[in-house]
A and B are shown apart, each in its own frame.
Chain A
Amino acid sequence: MNIFTRGFRGRKRDSSGQLPPGQYLTDDFPVLSAGPTPRISLDAWEFTVTTEQGESHRWSWAELMALPAESVTVDVHCVTRWSKLDTVWRGVSLDTLLTDIETEADFALVHSYGGYSTNLPLEDLLGGKAWVAYEYEGEELAPEHGAPARLLVPHLYFWKSAKWVRGIDLMVQDSPGFWEQLGYHDYGDPWREQRYQGD
């Protein structure tokens, strides 16, 4: 079907090929959250990885800070259609966090303070593709952007990059997270425009 909208010209064209289909460029940093912003003190903060055998591995804030950190420059793409290019983050690679953990799991369910969750294949957390990030553009993360730490999985739509991250359950079976139960796509590849269930 060839529909066009009389009188609409549009503003910017992305000729760089850096934007996935249906996305537009923004310089702001919009916020998308389903509820209030949780406030978590660093003393109480913990990050826990639990395997399919029920074995838990925990890191306090001090322990996370003691791990080798990486600075990465990545593009982020939100399902509400904004994209931001060349954002700079600092955090600990999931490869580092998961390196000594024995698991046969294929899936991960990520949990946040405040009750949010999101699922993704474990493979997508490994191989230099995901971080527990605690700095954005050289500053501490802001509360509404996930302080003290958020997941960063920039190759998937940004709802997978869970803010206020508190832990990951490693699982043999996939299990949908918060938005995934509400009609959003299980995988969420922006380059294949996997916004909603069935895309």
Chain B
Amino acid sequence: MDTTTTATHGASSGTRGTKGPPFLAASPSGGAAARTASASTLVLEVIGWPGHLAGQHVDVRLTAPDGYQAARSYSLAAPTDGDRIEITVQRVPDGEVSSYLADEARDGDVVEVRGPVGGWFVWKPEDSGPVLLVAGGSGVVPLMAMIRSRDGVSPAPFRLIYSVRTPQDRIYDHELRRRATQDGGLEVAFLYTRTVPDGETRSVGRITAEDLIAYGWPADVKPTCYVCGPTAFVETVSDLLVGLGHDPAMIKTERFGPSGP
């Protein structure tokens, strides 16, 4: 083994002249756009935002007066709209960044964002095949960007299965229910893990193979599947989809964190 001829190693690491995407100043604007029991939506003005694809995320960085910084990833909730981006942040108990963004941030405050990031968990309007979206809790955020990007632009048939704890936890509730009746080719099913609303026939419980059969696509339709939410939810759903015969290469996942609905 010749390990002395690896002098080119540095060429792939430190010697680039360019810099990666910069952090840009971002300010909440238009008030907290929407709030549920567990999440808040923020519209941020980002001067010089380069645009993004549905499914991508940003890194949001906060700086304390003593210079201490903390950064976390948040999915972009809406299609590109000039210098405005939208994120929806679920409060995590004791969460350093989420509790600030969900409860504290006000119009005119300054945070920083860097992005867009991620090129795998994305949907493009020119992708015309059927799509299955499966969300747990705040995992609906990047899937909402896909639903919104599709509106009026793509005939691709979409089915969303959205698991939440209680009816009060439905993020984008009104918009989703409106779109389910107005956006041709979009179907939406809510699943509840703790409390069901009146009139709901499915009883409370975590998502099962039967739910994916009832509200998703058969595997032979070969949908592209996007599964997003807490790690355990994504593990369960992607295993179930593979078990139902979906090609693992057609299942794209984004895992947000340890716990959830």
A80 within 8 A of B: yes
Interface residue from B1, B18, B67, B109 paired with A7 (Cβ < 8 Å): B109
- Residues of chain B within 8 A of A127, CB atoms compared: 3
Given contacts A4-B110, A126-B1, A187-B13, contact A22 B71 (CB under 8 A): yes
Q: A28-B258, A36-B253, A199-B20 are in contact. Are A187 and B12 (CB under 8 A)?
A: yes
Kindly provide the distance from the CB of A4 to the nearest chain B CB, expressed in whole angstroms.
Answer: 4
Whether the Cβ atoms of B255 and A30 lie closer than 8 Å is: yes
Q: Once bound together, how far apart are the Cα atoms of A42 and B251, in whole Å? A: 24
- On whether the beta carbons of B121 and A183 are closer than 8 Å, the reply is no
The contact of A81 among B62, B72, B258, by CB within 8 Å, is B72
**Which one of A98, A121, A144, A181 lies within 8 Å of B6 (CB-CB)?**
A121
- How many angstroms from the CA of A14 to the CA of B2 in the assembled complex? 40
A151 → chain B closest CB, angstroms: 18
**Hey, which chain B residues are within 8 Å of A12, CB to CB?**
96
- B253 & A122 in contact (Cβ 8 Å cutoff): no
Contacts of B100 in A (CB 8 A): 5, 7-8
* Chain A residues within an 8 Å CB radius of B19: 198-199
User: What is the size, in residues, of chain B's interface with A at 8 Å between Cβ atoms?
Assistant: 57
- Interface: B36 (CB within 8 A): no
Report Cα–Cα, A38/B16, bound state, in Å: 36
Do residues A196 and B1 form an inter-chain contact, with CB atoms below 8 A? no
With an 8 Å Cβ cutoff, the count of chain A residues facing the other chain is 59
A3 contacts chain B at the CB level, 8 A cutoff: yes
Q: Contacts A4-B63, A5-B63, A30-B258 given: A35-B249 contact, CB under 8 Å?
A: yes
Q: With contacts A174-B12, A187-B12, A189-B13 known, is A8 near B62, CB below 8 A?
A: yes
Q: A22-B71, A106-B9, A192-B14 are in contact. Are A33 and B20 (CB under 8 A)?
A: no
Tell me the bound Cα distance from A183 to B73 in angstroms.
16
Establish whether residues B13 and A10, one from each chain, have CB atoms under 8 Å apart when the complex forms: no
In-complex Cβ contact of A5 among B109, B119, B249, B253 (8 A): B109
Contact present for A197 and B20 (CB under 8 Å): yes
Q: Is A44 engaged at the interface, CB distance under 8 Å to the other chain?
A: no
Contacting residues of chain A (26-60) with chain B, CB-CB under 8 angstroms: 28, 30-38
Give the distance to chain A from B98, nearest Cβ to Cβ, in Å. Answer: 12
B118 on the A face (CB < 8 A)? yes
Chain B residues closer than 8 Å to A178, beta-carbon distance: 120
Q: Tell whether, in the assembled complex, residue A8 and residue B104 are in contact, meaning their CB atoms are under 8 Å apart.
A: yes
Binary contact readout B1-45 vs A (1 if CB under 8 angstroms, 0 otherwise): 111011011001110101111000100000000000000000000
Q: Which residue of B lies closest to A102 (CB)?
A: B1
- The smallest beta-carbon distance between B40 and chain A, in angstroms, is 14
Q: From residue A55, how far is it (CB to closest CB) to chain B in Å?
A: 13
Does residue A99 face the partner (Cβ distance < 8 Å to B)? yes
Given the interface pairs A80-B73, A144-B231, A197-B20, the reply to whether A34 lies near B25 with Cβ below 8 Å is no
A-B contact pairs, 24 of them (CB 8 A): A3-B110, A5-B111, A7-B105, A8-B64, A8-B104, A10-B62, A11-B70, A12-B96, A24-B70, A28-B258, A30-B231, A81-B59, A81-B72, A99-B1, A103-B1, A103-B2, A106-B9, A122-B3, A144-B231, A181-B119, A183-B118, A186-B13, A187-B14, A192-B13
